Structure 1
Amino acid sequence: MPLLQALWLFVYLFSLVAADAVGDLQTKANTAWTTQLAKSTNCTKAKLVIRKEWGDVSADDRRAYIKAVKCLIAAPSKLPKGKFPGAVTRYEDFVVTHMQQTPNIHGTGNFLSWHRYFTWSYEQVLRTECGYNGTQPYWDWGRWASNPETSPIFDGSDTSMSGNGQKISHQATAVGPAQNGGGCVLTGPFANMTVRLGPVSPQADPAPPRNPQSDGYGLNTRCLRRDLGPYLTTRYTTTSIIASLITASKDIGTLQNNMQSGTGVHGSAHFTIGSDPGGDFYTSPNDPAFYLLHGQIDRVWAIWQGQDLNNRQQVMAGGTQIFGGGTNQKLTDVVNIGNVMAQTYPLSALMSTVDGPFCYMYQ
């Protein structure tokens, strides 16, 4: 067998083993969550919904999800008139919420639980305000690591989350080299999508125009841009890396720190989308792919929890401010995202996917 052919065979077989490793971890986790479901005070088998990877969602169901997201993009904002001039749509109410709380939900003890509630709230608003009957899909970074542009998530088809940005000449940023786009997204359902909020902390070249307000809430109309490519996914978000993240993290602090390190899966996935607003720490939810990305973050956490659910559910580590600042985060601390979801919860109520407000599992 020629050397090159043998090498490709090895890579292929290794990818199958890695995929099986994550699959086995999820199977074990789902067994634990099913046992937990039987004890739930809120969730039942009849109510339980299953979240799927975008590639496993049928074309019709993808179109239904896209239609609901576009409904939010077309609906008017419910925020106080004039307070956030850049928030014109209901979709942008979620962006404002993330911008307001960014320093207190990243590198913090509530990073995972806050984003679990935020992503679920987005799913619920799609259902209650836009007639969506499905669940929040996720983006399995490892599955498409070799070439995210050709994945069904980003291939630019009518059942994708739109494609890459137009390929333009641009430079590297602090988080990686210039990739395969950089310009406006011109293909797929979100082609020519308008962005209005931010930037606040941009990592993009060319740099987005400055917001007329220093806090980023002013009206700053421009196009959605992406700079997709495999540089980060092939190095930091492969299936084998995801499996190792789950198995090597023996406590919640280690899991969170490994996820959010400079080359962790969280930042690497965000900067794989990159550009504007995807490369902005504050305004990244203004790219509709954000919610698939955070569906996967939540899935990885749920799989990790399920390896030892009795000891990994009501656990917390970290501070209340970014980079470990503030006081120690407590399970009694309250999550309030009143711009988009009125009900508040203590963090302790957001630790199970089959209790508290939640009733879902991952496939």
Structure 2
Amino acid sequence: MLPTLSLRFLVVAAFVTQLLARPTRLHPAWRDSNCTDPTVRVNWLTLTDDEKTAYFDAELCLLSLPSQSSIPGVVTRYDDLAGAHSMQADTGAGTDLWHKTGQFLAAHRYYMHTHEILLREECGYTGALPYWYELEDAGAFNESVTLTEFGGEGLEENDYVIVDGPFANLTRNLGPGATNTPHLLTRQMSLWNTTLANQTYFDKVNAQTTFALFQSTLNPTIHTAGHRGVGGDMENILTSPNDPVFFLHHTYLDWVWWKWQGDNETRIFDIEGAGYETQSEPATGWVETSAETNIWVYDIIPNITVRSLTCYPEAV
């Protein structure tokens, strides 16, 4: 049995007070250029209750720490992370740098790493970064054990607000969309969209022979399943990280990419033909995403190039 939210919150609050009294180190602990030092990622369901509690406590810690950025609307350190995403997503002005671009998967791989660094360096987390094995729950996210432990689905009678679990009645400061209006975390599930995570689509994605085809096939299927299937905050392209489930979803997508890379060594550095660095053509002309494309997370941790991000084996 996992501890109750009220008890865990008191423990986390005391831990946060201790953390604020000491400096933190934010740096990308990247592995060597030969891809021989893997970063561990694990299925959420393989964690023990104590390990799950440690993860929840670290996430609640980020939700309690004050912001360290100047991103509009942010209040907490977790908001800094969500804001780094919203500032580089599609506002409708054609300025998306992370989604409708060639570096979609690479940018989110580094974003998962940024989340991991904050959990470890600022909130003392020592466990592996978990993912939600959505293939197993395809077509029935409402019955998912993983999602249930994160509070389950929102119900119409509660305006789809999450009222159970560690993130019950959680106020979100960013969004909806380009606005910043404090609201409670919501999930409005679409079971049809959850079918996009099933074996047929999983196999279709992994059958692609080039990275360009892999990324373009994954985006409207497995990627869409997690966002539109869960719905609510998760469905908003700008502020979907408002929902802590976002990080389990994208760590899963990263695992799928790792699996595709690992099936063929020549794929580790394959990013050819993925697309352009920007959503809209700049005055200086289109620039294709390349190994030298820079990924920025609003200085939460240092920038990195796509070259470093293709070399990111994950042990599972």
Task: State the TM-score, normalized to the length of structure 1.
Answer: 0.71
> Does structure 1 residue 259 correspond to structure 2 residue 224?
no
Q: Does 1:53 align with 2:43?
A: yes
Counterpart pick for 2:271 among 295, 302, 315? 315
Distance in 1, matches of 2:138 and 2:295, equals: 33
Matched, 1:125 2:118: yes
CA displacement, residues 241-287 of structure 1 (integer Å, 9 cap, x when unaligned): 2122102x1111111111123xx211121011111x21111100010
Counterpart in 2 of 1:243?
203
Q: Quick one: structure 1 residues 43 and 122, their matched pair in 2 at CA, closer, same or farther if it must change by over 3 Å? A: same
CA displacement, residues 25-77 of structure 1 (integer Å, 9 cap, x when unaligned): xxxxxxxxxxxxxx9458766xx442111112222111111110000001100
SS of the aligned residue for 2:155 comes to: strand
- Give the partner amino acid of 2:188: D
CA contact (8 A) 1:252 1:312 kept: no
Could you give the per-residue CA deviations for residues 290-334 of structure 1, whole angstroms, max 9, x where no partner exists?
Answer: 000000110111111111122442423201223888421121111
Alpha-carbon distance change, 130 to 90 in structure 1, aligned in 2, over 3 angstroms: same
Question: In structure 2, what is the equivalent of residue 290 of structure 1?
Answer: 246
Question: What SS is found at the alignment partner of 2:145?
Answer: coil
Q: Which runs of 5+ in 1 are unaligned?
A: 1-38, 169-180, 201-214, 355-360
Q: Is the counterpart of residue 136 in structure 1 residue 93 in structure 2?
A: no
Cross-structure match for 2:262:
306
> Does residue 96 of structure 1 match 2:91?
no
Match of 2:188 among 227, 243, 260: 227
Contact 1:198 1:283 in 2 (8 A): yes
Which of residues 151, 154, 158 is equivalent to 1:165? 154
Pair 324,105 (structure 1): closer, same or farther in 2 beyond 3 Å: farther
Partner of 1:196: 173
In the comparison of the two structures, how many residue pairs are matched?
A: 276
Q: Distance in 2 between matches of 1:271 and 1:119?
A: 20
* 2: CA distance, partners of 1:230 / 1:311: 33
Whether the 8 Å contact between 2:67 and 2:76 is mirrored in structure 1 is: yes
SS in 2 for 1:303: helix
Conservation of the 8 A alpha-carbon contact between 2:154 and 2:160: yes
8 Å contact 2:268–2:311 — kept in the other structure? no
Matches of 1:104 and 1:183 in 2, distance apart? 30
* Shift of residue 362, structure 1, vs aligned partner: 3.6
Once residues 251 and 182 of structure 1 are traced to their aligned partners in structure 2, the CA distance between those partners, rounded to angstroms, is 43
Change (3 A) 1:307 1:97: same
Residue equivalent to 1:63: 53
SS at match of 2:129: coil
Kindly indicate whether the alpha-carbon contact (under 8 Å) linking 2:211 and 2:267 is maintained by their aligned counterparts in 1: no
SS at match of 2:53: helix
Rate the CA distance shift 1:229–1:190 in 2: closer, same or farther, 3 A: same
Q: Against the structure 1 CA distance between its residues 140 and 151, is the aligned structure 2 distance closer, same or farther, given a 3 Å change threshold?
A: same
Hey, what does 1:79 align to over in structure 2?
A: 69
Aligned partners of 2:294 and 2:303 also within 8 Å: yes
Distance 1:42 1:352 in 2: 8
Corresponding letter in the other structure for 1:330: S
Q: Give secondary structure in 2 for the equivalent of 1:185.
A: coil
CA-based RMSD of the aligned residues comes to: 2.1
Q: Deviations over 1:108-136 (max 9, x none)?
A: 11111110000111011101100100121
Map of 1:107 onto structure 2: 100
Instruction: Say whether the 8 Å CA contact 1:93–1:339 is kept in structure 2.
Output: no
Name the residue aligned to 2:138.
145
1:349 aligns with 2:308: yes
Q: Which residue of 2 aligns with 1:269?
A: 226
- 1:316-359 per-residue CA deviation (whole Å, 9 max, x = no partner) reads 32012238884211211111213421x111111111114xxxxx
Task: Write the distance in 2 (CA, Å) between the matches of 1:49 and 1:256.
Answer: 22
Q: Work out the CA distance in 2 between the residues paired with 1:65 and 1:130.
A: 10
SS in structure 1 of the partner of residue 206 of structure 2: helix
Match of 1:33 in 2: none
Partner Cα separation in structure 2 for residue 43 and residue 255 of structure 1? 21
Is the 1:113–1:350 Cα contact (8 Å) retained in structure 2?
A: yes
Q: Could you tell me how far apart the structure 1 residues matched to 2:281 and 2:216 are? A: 11
CA contact (8 A) 2:139 2:191 kept: yes
Q: Determine if contact 2:194/2:229 at 8 Å carries over to the other structure.
A: yes
The 8 Å contact of residues 148 and 154 in structure 1, kept in 2 or not, is answered as yes
Instruction: Judge which range, 142-151 or 109-118, deviates more.
Output: 142-151
